[in-house]
Structure 1
Amino acid sequence: MTELNASEFRSLIISVFPELTASAFKLAAKGWDSLAVDVDDTLIFKFPRHSGAERALVKEAALLDIIRPSLSMAVPDMHIHDGPPIFSSHAKLEGEHLIAEDYDALGESYRRRLADDLARFYAELHVLDADRMRSAGAGPIQPWQSPEALRSKALPLLPPDLRSFAQAILADFETLPPDPHGNIYGFFDGHGWNMAFNHAQGRLNGVYDFADSGFGPLHQEFIYSNFISPDLTARIVSAYEMLTGRRLDRRRIAILTGFHRLSELAEFADDPAYVEQMIRSAATWAGAVHVG
């Protein structure tokens, strides 16, 4: 699939939305699967970069139609336009990304509210009817790299002090029994780059990008907030336990977090554009927590 240039994006959008002729267009994000165009800071249009991404976008819209009415948290109200090319539109969720430095600057009451809001988001998401989600297109989440791949691709890239930490993570991961809560339909992408956070008010306005959502082990749902802060994850887990009555294993979450960082390093081991970033990600986790 040939990617469109900026003027072609604009022409295509205006052909469907002529009222936007005088609007300001800017490229919002260039993800693995889609390009996002921001119009007037109020609308987001997503253009798939390949045929697999087209199918994923249509599936995401169908899933959101089920998810949206069931959540307290705001999520995109996505509409598909058949094109060609296929693209989607939705009102932009107001807010910015939430990264580690932002979270560190939050006061206690804001941290507590954020954790409570995310715990409720997960609790409401996890009780959605599995058959209904499957009928809308939800399937298993994308698998991680194997332990063998981590040993051959990730570990040789790590400095010696990190390598021993990584070996311990691998050993712990390989001895984990199946998730005691089994598989659920979940988000599995709850890092701060998928959040619309109002920094002035210290409030999470919404969550977006459900392309990676699907069925997976319940504990894995809680690893992604560790990209923001282990403190946030601990708060989410405690609030989730109060809401659902489920007891979560914090050590399992820590092991899964470490394995995921190493899996990403193995996945991008041959990509010079990303390999250093993945090494830093593993190092950050090693410095933040000790899995014992």
Structure 2
Amino acid sequence: MPGAGLDALRAAILALFPDLSGARFTLLADGWESQAVDVDDRLIFRFPRFERGAGELAREARLLAVIGPVSPLRVPQTRFHPGPPCFALHRKLPGAVLLPAQYAALPETARHLLAEQLAGLQLALHRLDPGPLRQAGAGPVWDWPEPETILRQAWPRLPPALHRPAERIAAAALPPDPAGSVFGHFDLHGWNLAFDHASGRVQGVFDFAGSGFGPLHRDFVAPSLIAPDLAFRLMAEYEAQGGPKLDRARIAWLTGLHRLMELGEATEAQVARFGLLGNLESWLPHLP
């Protein structure tokens, strides 16, 4: 049901779950790959936006069955319904998203705890046995386009003041990741957290659709969307908990390239809604 409205999604849910007829249905903000419906603040139904999304939701449910028992943070216990219509269902994790302005208001103790919790999750994922993950359908994360392609796509949206910085980002020649490949979330930003603002703790993590095997340093790109401060705290905490030494310059260049890539690939509405030009500008001071 690509792009269906709330009424159509509600009807599809009630056709299979008529006992929810008296529930409150809320269409959550559209994600990049799926639409989500919140039912009574306790159930989440996710419908793929594209045909390829059905397979992704099914794969994610299988992966979560492997990840859940070893994750230090709660993850959804997802059931996949092949349809029609196709959707995934899980109980809502308690908590809310963590936006940049909310992170900025956190006290020092909460910032440290957040980095500690996310580092523990990353280490647990990076140390998972690849065998069961591959049996569940885990594969390589998607390859980014060549830097020259990323720059060309973003160029029409770049103001003249950002031409030189963007060219520097695209020209940063990075060899293959010296740390190799790991299984990771690869999209660990504040919109994928269930954060308890009262206690200052992460209650859970969701959206493992983009998870897979990829370059270790690339798994540290997304957290900076919450705040650069968190990204650097997370790197230090990851190492303190026993993770390998990280190349911060490499992560800085990868983050710049990722923000340039998002700017070029997004729709005009997404550029405005997610502040993608501002995301790129805010990261420039952190480049080597």
TM-score interval (norm. to shorter): over 0.9
Q: Percent identity?
A: 46
Q: Deviations over 1:119-148 (max 9, x none)?
A: 000000111111221121111112223222
Runs of 4+ in 1 over 6 A off after TM superposition: none
Change (3 A) 1:241 1:16: same
SS in 2 for 1:151: helix
Q: In structure 2, what residue type is equivalent to 1:221? A: D
Counterpart of 1:256?
254
Q: In structure 2, what residue type is equivalent to 1:213? A: S
Counterpart of 1:222?
220
In structure 1, C-alpha distance between the alignment counterparts of 2:157 and 2:5, rounded to whole Å: 37
Change (3 A) 1:127 1:278: same
Change (3 A) 1:264 1:5: closer
- 2:261 equivalent to 1:242: no
Counterpart of 1:209?
207
What is the TM-score of this pair, normalised by structure 2? 0.93
- 2:269 equivalent to 1:273: yes
CA RMSD of aligned residues (A): 1.7
What is the TM-score of this pair, normalised by structure 1? 0.92
Which segment is superposed worse, 184-193 or 25-34? Answer: 25-34
Change (3 A) 1:151 1:14: closer
In structure 1, C-alpha distance between the alignment counterparts of 2:232 and 2:5, rounded to whole Å: 43
Which segment is superposed worse, 80-89 or 2-11? Answer: 2-11
Please report how far the alpha carbon of residue 219 of structure 1 lies from its aligned counterpart in structure 2 after TM superposition. 0.5
Change (3 A) 1:60 1:283: same
Q: In structure 2, what residue type is equivalent to 1:51? A: E
In structure 1, C-alpha distance between the alignment counterparts of 2:147 and 2:193, rounded to whole Å: 30
SS in 1 for 2:202: strand
Q: Aligned ranges for residues 71-220 of structure 1 at < 5 Å? A: 71-172=71-172, 174=173, 176-220=174-218
Task: Decide whether the 8 Å contact of 1:29 with 1:37 is kept in 2.
Answer: no
Please report how far the alpha carbon of residue 3 of structure 1 lies from its aligned counterpart in structure 2 after TM superposition. 4.8
Q: In structure 1, what residue type is equivalent to 2:164? A: S
Q: Aligned ranges for residues 17-32 of structure 1 at < 5 Å? A: 17-32=17-32
5+ residue gaps, structure 1, are none
In structure 2, C-alpha distance between the alignment counterparts of 1:216 and 1:59, rounded to whole Å: 17
In structure 1, C-alpha distance between the alignment counterparts of 2:179 and 2:99, rounded to whole Å: 29
Change (3 A) 1:87 1:153: closer
Please report how far the alpha carbon of residue 252 of structure 1 lies from its aligned counterpart in structure 2 after TM superposition. 0.8
